[in-house]
Amino acid sequence: MRLQGNTVLVTGGASGIGRCIVQELLARDNTVLVCGRDPSKLQALQRELPQVKTLAADLSSPEEVERLAGVLLKEHPALNGVIHSAAIQYNSLLTDEDYAPQRIDEEVRTNLVAPMLLTRLLLPTLLRQGAAFLVHITSGLALVPKTRSAVYCGTKGGLHIFSQSLRHQLRGTSVRVVELLPPVVDTPMTQGRAEGAKLPPEQVARELMRGLERDEEEIHVGKVKLLAWLQRLAPGMAARVMSRMAFIPPLLLLAGG
Ligand SMILES: NC(=O)c1ccc[n+]([C@@H]2O[C@H](COP(=O)([O-])OP(=O)(O)OC[C@H]3O[C@@H](n4cnc5c(N)ncnc54)[C@H](OP(=O)(O)O)[C@@H]3O)[C@@H](O)[C@H]2O)c1
């Protein structure tokens, strides 16, 4: 994939991994559009990186996703890349007494329905471009889940399978489907957790660029390489390691946030 001269939407591009990806794309002379929920974070990004075009949308709402797609189709007909980075994670147990059931809907809509719906709505435009790409950011937890954050793990596992199926559908077209699987990364999402065991988000963004340049379909970052290998060769052991992870903090390195 040529990484210059593209027009790329990065959802969740005002924070964490998404923000580092925005910087990598700008450094390679791409037009970068960033979508986020919090207008003040988008304004701060715009001040720091004036080349970026920001679009506020709450992706947990399918109506907002449709509105965003409408704006993109109308105002950015050259759009040829979408990087789905926006997501939330409730780091809790379903058995927690204070677990609010409405969190399930919010997490599934943001992490799974939004990328699926936005992809569907933007596909006609992407298919018209000479070369286009979709990047789904899942996690090591899409391969082997941890004990906490069951809904988050479910959304990442769902997005992993969705990416594989969509890749089959789009084989032979101009649209490539790429999955990025990071381990635990030092971003606002993992604040207060796994201290000392987190990868810098800049490294994840660099590995994405390298993977895209090499036309990789699944980009395993850091210790996710080891987790994927363990899961293939000894799935029972991988499951045991990850289910006990909460009690063995160094093993957090294997997983994803
Ligand atoms: N951090 C990790 O350890 C880790 C590991 C593996 C995979 N990942 C994945 O990497 C991606 C980026 O995560 P991160 O760690 O960089 O998280 P982050 O710093 O918390 O950033 C998440 C971004 O998603 C946006 N977002 C959340 N809900 C949204 C909504 N309803 N509508 C629009 N935007 C919304 C946020 O925007 P606002 O701030 O405006 O709400 C924020 O910009 C996610 O897909 C995550 O699952 C992270």
Q: What is the CATH number of the domain that holds 191?
A: 3.40.50.720
Question: Given a cut of 90, is residue 178 above it in pLDDT?
Answer: yes
Write down the mean pLDDT value for the chain: 94
Please give the pLDDT value at position 255: 60
Q: Is 152 a catalytic residue?
A: yes
The answer to the question of residue 47 being in a domain is: yes
Residue whose CA lies nearest to ligand 1 atom number 48? 257
Q: Give me the number of domains the chain comprises.
A: 1
The answer to the question of residue 2 being in a domain is: no
Of 87-96, 151-160, 225-234, the range with the lowest mean pLDDT is: 225-234
The answer to the question of residue 203 being in a domain is: yes
Q: How many CB atoms lie within 10 A of CB 100?
A: 10
The answer to the question of residue 1 being in a domain is: no
Residue whose CA lies nearest to ligand 1 atom number 34? 36
Complete edge-to-edge strand list for the sheet that includes strand 218-220: 53-56, 31-36, 7-11, 81-84, 132-137, 175-181, 218-220
Domain that holds residue 213: 7-254
Strand partners, 11: 35, 84
Please give the pLDDT value at position 67: 98
Atom of ligand 1 nearest to the CA of 152: 47
Question: Given a cut of 90, is residue 248 above it in pLDDT?
Answer: no
The answer to the question of residue 99 being in a domain is: yes
Cβ(179)–Cβ(218) under 8 Å? yes
The structure's pTM equals 0.95
Question: Given a cut of 50, is residue 120 above it in pLDDT?
Answer: yes
**DSSP class of residue 109?**
I
The answer to the question of residue 154 being in a domain is: yes
Q: Where are the alpha helices (DSSP H) in the chain?
A: 16-27, 39-48, 62-75, 102-108, 114-128, 150-170, 201-213, 224-233, 235-243
The answer to the question of residue 218 being in a domain is: yes
**CA torsion angle 68 73 79 83 (round to 10):** 20
The answer to the question of residue 43 being in a domain is: yes
> Rounded mean pLDDT of 53-70?
98
Catalytic residue, candidates 152, 176, 220, 223 = 152
